[in-house]
Amino acid sequence: MGDVAVAEAALRYAEVSVGYHGAPVLTDVNLDLVPGQRLALIGPNGAGKSTLIKSILGLVPVLAGTSTVLGGAPAQARTRTGYVPQTDSLDAAFPVTAGQVVMMGRYRRIGWWRPTRTADRRAVHEALDRLGLADHGGTHFGVLSGGQRQRVLLARAIAAEPRLLLLDEPFNGVDAVSQDAILSVLRDLSAAGTTLVLSTHDLTVAHELADTVCVLNRRQWAVGPPDETLTADTLRRAYGGHAIELRDGRTVLVEP
């Protein structure tokens, strides 16, 4: 413990409640993440996963408890956090190219109206390249497949060079090729010290990628390493007592 650990913590939530207009959506959240840690938020639809992510971005207020993101208040950390929204929250018909979307990740650096520089264009190209989309910079975002769009959004987050990356259901509607590309990039980022927080209801992905999982449903039910935490018992309690099967020693979740 001590000063060093405090300075290094990427995310620290203690007894946190988050919600809108004073009504908590999610309570009793206790998280402690160091740089490079990979946290998966597990829970059914409406469990509060997206709300928790938005609270880390400072977009949903913390109603109780103490919250520290990258050493400060969540809203203060926005310059160093990256966010990958769910693709279906976007206006796909909006006329922008993949390259322009990735450039949005640089907007905060560039400022409101200064022209883009070589460094920005290089960062955009590199981010696209890392996700195997180097040839798609000029492609209209709306004509890309769901998986390609998700990769573009991850590229956008990477272009901002975040220390904490938040991903909301990054594998929803994503094909196998895109999923592999995303997983590989996320592992690299983690190895380089970027802390990852992603929401998912895919337990396989959680096992494969995360070193820590947090089981949520209106409150935090469990947190810890995947093998110890994703037990049939915990999941059964969090998910409401049924739709859980055990197979090959692993927990498989079947939602109704």
Q: Which C-beta is closer to another protein: that of 131 or that of 222? A: 131
Phi then psi for residue 107, to 5 deg, are -55, -40
Closest CA to 129 of 92, 89, 102: 102
Q: Which C-beta is closer to another protein: that of 109 or that of 125? A: 109
Task: Write the interaction track for another protein spanning residues 130-169; mark x where CB under 8 A is met and - where it is not.
Answer: ----------xxxx---------x--x---x-----x---
Answer yes or no: are the C-beta atoms of 156 and 87 closer than 8 Å.
no
Task: Give helix then strand counts, H and E, for the chain.
Answer: 10, 11
Three-class DSSP labels, 180-248: HHHHHHHHHHHHCCCEEEEEECCHHHHHHHCCEEEEECCEEEEEECHHHHCCHHHHHHHHCCCCEEEEC
Return the residues of window 65-104 that contact another protein according to CB under 8 A.
Answer: 78-79, 81, 83, 85, 88-96, 101, 104
Site of tokens 């000063």: 3
Could you give the CA distance from residue 219 to residue 241 in angstroms, rounded to a whole number?
16
Total of chain residues touching another protein, rule CB under 8 A: 33
64 binds another protein (CB under 8 A): no
Q: Which C-beta is closer to another protein: that of 106 or that of 201? A: 106
Shortest distance (Å) from residue 35 CB to another protein:
20
Task: Report the residue from 1, 7, 112, 254 that binds another protein according to the rule CB under 8 A.
Answer: 112
Task: Give the binding site for another protein (CB under 8 A).
Answer: 54, 57, 59, 78-79, 81, 83, 85, 88-96, 101, 104-105, 107-108, 110, 112-113, 140-143, 153, 156, 160, 166
